[in-house]
Amino acid sequence: MIGKSGYRFSEKIMLKQKDGAGWRFNKKPFRSSARPFGPVNPQQPYLRTFAAPAMLCAFGLVAALAAVLQFSLRAYVPGSLDPGGFTLANFSDLLRPLYARVFLDTVMICFLTAVSTLIVGYPLAYALVRSQNAIVKSILLVIVVTPLFLGEVVRTYSWIIVLGNNGFINSLLLNLGIIRQPLQFMFTTFGVVVALVHVTMPVMVIMLAAALSHIDRDYQRAAESLGAGPIRVFLTVTLPLSMPGVVAGVTTAFAWTFSAFATPQLIGGGRVNMISNLVYQLGFASFNFPFAASLCVTGLALTIVVLSMLRLASRRLETIEPH
């Protein structure tokens, strides 16, 4: 993580911690020393051998993507598995209102999920890192980690039980007399986002917890000794220093949600669709593989564009230093 002055926060903190006696800032600009495919480093003679399997995987991935790209440029032939000649029609079809809307909906759902996950996950990560009580810490860890051990489908089905017309929330509200008719959570964007937040939360909390645990407590103590209250300490010291984690968490949550399939498929009930659902419907239910491939290619391009924009926008946030 490069600061605005070209130095890494983590390096600053590490140096301070080692130094112990006082502040000492590293003035050497950060440069990567990793040269995995350059001249063989005599100290790491097996690097190439170890990197070979990864290269093979990368090659396989690129070959598969090339096949998908090739399919996206071929015509669909009804009743046949083989695609026809080369065409751009699949991409021009994507401009139709339905598909344009699904792309917009996907970006919106990803954005809402990432932000909501951050809002829900930050206090949890903070409590996880800062809690002194081992029992509380364990309980929080279980809350955070348990969802990772359940498949996305299981988690989504549990949300169907919670959000359904006869589900937990509606039953509770009806029994308390707060509502007369069940509220519609299922088959709505709200329902999909709620379930996706649960699916994404462990990743966000783990990333935030990692960032928060690297913040030197002396910064906060220094602020407190200068008279800052807890809220001010949080807003001016903790939050800015955890920005790299926030940015990493939001970016990952966004990308993670972009490929969500089971949750929008089951909670959305065909009413709320994301790109992956359309790919499934077109490829696996309609056998229109060329059009499904064009959706994949465009979805991938959109992910790269959105994440690049997010990265650009977040660069300023990452450079924030404690005030």
Report the alpha-carbon distance of residue 146 to residue 140 in Å, rounded: 10
Q: How far is the CB of 284 from another protein (least distance, A)?
A: 5
Q: Which is nearer to another protein, 188 or 319 (CB)?
A: 188
Q: Would you say 148 and 254 are in contact if contact means Cβ atoms under 8 Å apart?
A: no
Category of 260 on φ-ψ map: left (φ > 0), alpha (ψ -120 to 50) or beta: beta
Q: How far is the CB of 161 from another protein (least distance, A)?
A: 8
Q: How far is the CB of 288 from another protein (least distance, A)?
A: 4
Q: How far is the CB of 186 from another protein (least distance, A)?
A: 6
What are the φ/ψ torsions at residue 274 (nearest 5 degrees)?
-115, 175
3, burial (CB in 10 Å: exposed 0-12, middle 13-18, buried 19+): middle
Q: Which is nearer to another protein, 133 or 286 (CB)?
A: 286
Q: Which of 141, 117, 107, 303 is nearest to 204 (CA)?
A: 117
3-state helix, strand, coil in the chain (%, to 5): 70, 0, 30
Task: Give the distance from CA 144 to its chain's centroid.
Answer: 15
User: Looking at this protein, which amino acid is placed at residue 277?
Assistant: N
Using the contact rule CB under 8 A, the part of the chain among 8-16, 49-57, 251-259, 262-270 near another protein is 262-270
Q: Which is nearer to another protein, 234 or 287 (CB)?
A: 287
Q: Which of 244, 245, 249, 283 binds another protein (CB under 8 A)?
A: 283
Which residues, 288 to 307, sit near another protein by CB under 8 A?
Answer: 288, 291
What are the φ/ψ torsions at residue 86 (nearest 5 degrees)?
-75, 140
Q: Which of 64, 69, 67 is nearest to 88 (CA)?
A: 69
Q: Which of 81, 135, 142, 226 binds another protein (CB under 8 A)?
A: 81
Q: Which of 48, 221, 271, 323 binds another protein (CB under 8 A)?
A: 271
**What mask of x and - would describe binding to another protein in positions 135 to 174, judged by CB under 8 A?**
----------------------x--x---xxxx-------
**What mask of x and - would describe binding to another protein in positions 28 to 67, judged by CB under 8 A?**
----------------------------------------
Which residues, 175 to 214, sit near another protein by CB under 8 A?
Answer: 186-187
Q: How far is the CB of 239 from another protein (least distance, A)?
A: 40
CA angle 132, 135, 140 (to 5 degrees): 85
Residues that bind another protein (CB under 8 A): 76, 78-82, 96-98, 101-102, 157, 160, 164-167, 186-187, 265-266, 269-271, 273, 278, 281-288, 291
